[in-house]
């Protein structure tokens, strides 16, 4: 049964060959033996850098079923997910991940594309992204400054008061 779900994820990825604004990353969310969400990377078409196949499949499943938790679901994807997608999977409770292409395969894809057109060049590889995301906030390459903590703590307190 797992094979059919991976075949579907790859079929979705194949749509990108002829669909402008998409990339060949497709995914499906599966729960209780049924596909409950599907997604194709539409980052360029949607002008949304978070529109990866995995995130789109999770969004689709959540919308279709009016959920914000997919606890116990599996995700099948055509390519090893980036850190953003993995974080999203953890956030919603994906239990198992199945993937076709490795991160190195994606890196090779973009290197080949960028050799013909610089628009395909990436600011950092998935490996570099994983490293940066895993660092404490004050050790990342991206500058970060905490501001007005007391103000947001007051908002949090008001929220707790209203909702408990």
pLDDT along the chain (164 residues), means of 10: 94 97 97 98 95 98 97 97 95 97 89 84 80 91 94 96 96
| pLDDT on residue 7 | 98
pTM: 0.88
CA distances to 23, 25, 48, 144, 161 from 42, in Å: 7, 9, 8, 29, 40
* pLDDT the model gives residue 82: 92
pLDDT of residue 107: 86
Is 54 annotated as catalytic? yes
Given 38, 54, 56, 80, the catalytic residue: 54
Q: pLDDT value at position 108?
A: 87
């Amino acid at each position: 049964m797992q094979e059919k779900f991976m075949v579907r994820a790859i079929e979705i990825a194949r749509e990108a060959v002829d669909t402008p604004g998409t990339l060949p990353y497709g995914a499906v969310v599966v729960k209780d033996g049924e596909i409950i969400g599907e997604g194709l990377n539409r980052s360029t078409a949607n002008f949304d850098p978070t529109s990866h196949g995995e995130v789109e499949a999770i969004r689709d499943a959540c919308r279709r079923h009016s959920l914000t938790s997919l606890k116990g679901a599996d995700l099948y994807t055509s390519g090893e997910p980036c850190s953003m997608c993995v974080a999203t999977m953890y956030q919603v409770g994906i239990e198992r991940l199945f993937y076709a292409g490795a991160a190195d395969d994606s890196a090779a894809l973009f290197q080949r594309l960028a050799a013909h057109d610089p628009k395909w060049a990436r600011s950092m590889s998935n490996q570099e992204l994983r490293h940066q995301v895993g660092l404490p906030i004050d050790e990342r390459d991206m500058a970060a400054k905490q501001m007005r903590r007391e103000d947001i703590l007051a908002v949090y307190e008001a929220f707790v008061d209203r909702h408990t």
